[in-house]
């Protein structure tokens, strides 16, 4: 579990988030980036509620260590997109989603481009 640090000094208890939840957030954020193909494009084009947890965790690995949260995203891109800019957009989308929804700032977001899909 990943502990969420709170800035308030309330005695209401602790907050922990499962790494799988972070993977789902990262998957949805990645699916929203323009130029993404493959599995993540399929996520964008379908109703999120009808997708299984296993499908939402596909292509994303979250490693919660004592020294931080490390996220690896494995994705395909469309032919002709700027690979560097798209990868940075993926990193920024994941970072923004995680910090907004959980206040957790990942230590690293590594984007692995597995292949380029040609236009149909």
Specify the higher pLDDT residue, 101 or 5.
101
d(CA 40, CA 114): 12
Share of the chain above pLDDT 70, in %: 78
In a domain, 1, yes or no: no
Specify the higher pLDDT residue, 19 or 43.
19
In a domain, 7, yes or no: no
Helix (H, G, I), strand (E, B) or coil at 111: strand
d(CA 26, CA 57): 9
Using only C-alpha atoms, what is the Rg of the chain?
Answer: 15
Tokens 């964008």 — which residue? 44
- State yes or no: pLDDT of 1 exceeds 70: no
pLDDT at 26: 94
CA 50 to chain centre: 19
Q: How many domains does the chain have?
A: 1
Mean pLDDT of the chain: 85
In a domain, 74, yes or no: yes
Q: What is the mean pLDDT of residues 20-44?
A: 86
In a domain, 63, yes or no: yes
In a domain, 90, yes or no: yes
Specify the higher pLDDT residue, 95 or 38.
95
pLDDT at 4: 63
Q: Tell me: the pLDDT tens digits for 59-68?
A: 899 999 889 9
pLDDT at 58: 82
In a domain, 26, yes or no: yes
pLDDT at 13: 80
CATH number of the CATH domain containing 34: 3.30.70.1350
Alpha helices in the chain (DSSP H): 19-31, 39-45, 53-57, 83-102
In a domain, 4, yes or no: no
Q: Which domain holds residue 103?
A: 13-117
- State yes or no: pLDDT of 42 exceeds 80: no
């Amino acid at each position: 579990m990943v502990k969420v640090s709170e800035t308030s000094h309330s005695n209401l208890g602790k907050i922990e988030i499962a790494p799988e939840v972070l993977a789902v957030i990262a998957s949805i954020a990645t699916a929203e980036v323009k130029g993404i193909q493959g599995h993540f494009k399929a996520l964008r084009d379908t109703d999120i509620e009808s997708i299984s947890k296993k499908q939402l965790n596909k292509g994303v690995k979250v490693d919660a260590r004592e020294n931080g949260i490390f996220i690896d995203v494995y994705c395909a891109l469309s032919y002709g997109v700027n690979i560097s800019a798209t990868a940075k957009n993926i990193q920024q989308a994941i970072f923004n989603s995680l910090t907004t929804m959980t206040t957790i700032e990942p230590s690293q977001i590594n984007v692995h481009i597995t292949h380029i899909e040609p236009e149909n």
